[in-house]
Structures are given as structure tokens and as C-alpha cells.
A and B are shown apart, each in its own frame.
Chain A
Amino acid sequence: GQNIDQPTEMTATEGAIVQINCTYQTSGFNGLFWYQQHAGEAPTFLSYNVLDGLEEKGRFSSFLSRSKGYSYLLLKELQMKDSASYLCASLDSNYQLIWGAGTKLIIKP
């Protein structure tokens, strides 16, 4: 079966760094996505990785290891507005997105 695993909830301090992990098992692989979703709002695109390695985009970076079926989202210099759910999704061989349940990130002052 297809499965995406990510922690349900994480807590971090404003100004700190947090890493949100995601492991995936899908039928084929065509890329790994991270989306941010604030409470009561729609998901918004953060990053896309299809090759191994780290992709940096401002305060956010995303890493992929295809051999390990593993990705992480790294958030630096945390701000209160980063409090949200972070959704990991894998694009399978049929180009269908398989979504994780999301990680709720709580930022404390």
C-alpha cells in the first residue's frame, strides 16, 4: 500500500530551527512536495524535490533521499506566523499526489 508518515505535532521556540520529517512508501516516485496550511485556510505550495539533496528557499529548506524514502522540511529563524500544519505529499507513478496527515507546528515565544 501507499503510505506517508510524519509526526502529528511539534513544538518549537520563536527564532529557533525545526526539522519536520516525512517518510514515504508509494507505487513509483515522481517527486516529493511540502505544503503549508494555516488553520482554516487552504494549503499553499512550499517546495518540490525530485532529486536527492537539499533545496534551499529563504528560511525554508527541503531535503530528499530517494533510497531511504525520506524527506525533511527545515525551518530556520522561526516566526510566530510559521505556526501551521505542514503537509508532505508524494507524487506516485500515476502522477497522483499521496498526502500525509500533516504535522501541526506550534511556535512558542
Chain B
Amino acid sequence: EAGVVQSPRYKIIEKKQPVAFWCNPISGHNTLYWYLQNLGQGPELLIRYENEEAVDDSQLPKDRFSAERLKGVDSTLKIQPAELGDSAVYLCASSTGTVTGELFFGEGSRLTVL
């Protein structure tokens, strides 16, 4: 069974430029999460989807971040414009349901903003 797939693995951009990350969850997983993780810290939730619906986006900085999950499968996270403080690893995870808590993570997209 294929795991959660993310791309790109690494991205280096200059501040004020846009960037987008893509995630393909495990087949059949209805719940999809985008997390941000800084070095030496735990993951911080940005947004959680149940199928196509964003059920928790309270931590998403909506002035510059946007996300979508068309058809309830793949998802894209966009930052525009990027700031220096956005440098981090962006993790996508999926699960079969919100109550289980067992998340399957992708390898992450490491963003460096110069």
C-alpha cells in the first residue's frame, strides 16, 4: 500500500515569492491534515479536511496561506507571498477518521525562504 506522497521534498525561494505544496493521501483516507513543523518542535496543525470540507482551519494564516482539497483526495497548500518566518517543514498526514488519532505522515516538504 502506497503511503502519503508529498512534493516537492525541498523548496528554496526568495521572500515575497509564492510556493505550493502537493499531497496525495493514502487511498481511502477521508481525513487529511496539513501541519507545519519547526526544528525541535512538534507539529502545528494548519488545516484539517474531512473529505472536501475544511473542518478546522483556525490556525491557518488566511492572509497568506490557502489550501484546497478538490474531490476529497489530493490537496494543495499555497503560500503567497512567503515570508522569512515561513521556513519550516510542511507535513501532510491522512487518517481513516478523526477519532482514531493514528496519522500517517508524508515525508514532508522542507521550505527555505531567503
Contacts and interface: CB of A to CB of B under 8 A. Distances in A.
Contacts of A99: 42-44
B106 A96 contact: no
Interface residues of A, number: 23
B101 interface: yes
A96 B41 contact: no
B40 A102 contact: yes
Contact of B105 (A30, A44, A89): A44
Nearest to A42: B105
B108 interface: yes
A42 B91 contact: yes
A42 B45 contact: no
A30 B99 contact: yes
A101 B108 contact: no
A100 B37 CA distance: 12
B105 A43 contact: yes
Interface string A98-109: 011110100000
Contacts of B105: 42-44
B42 A100 contact: yes
Interface string B81-106: 00000000001000000110111111
Interface of B: 4, 40-45, 48, 56, 91, 98-99, 101-108
Interface of A: 4, 8, 30-31, 33, 41-45, 48, 87, 89, 91, 94-97, 99-102, 104
Given A94-B56, A96-B56, A97-B45, 17 more contacts: A33-B102, A42-B107, A43-B105, A45-B102, A45-B103, A87-B42, A89-B101, A95-B98, A97-B101, A99-B42, A99-B43, A100-B42, A101-B40, A101-B41, A101-B42, A102-B41, A102-B42
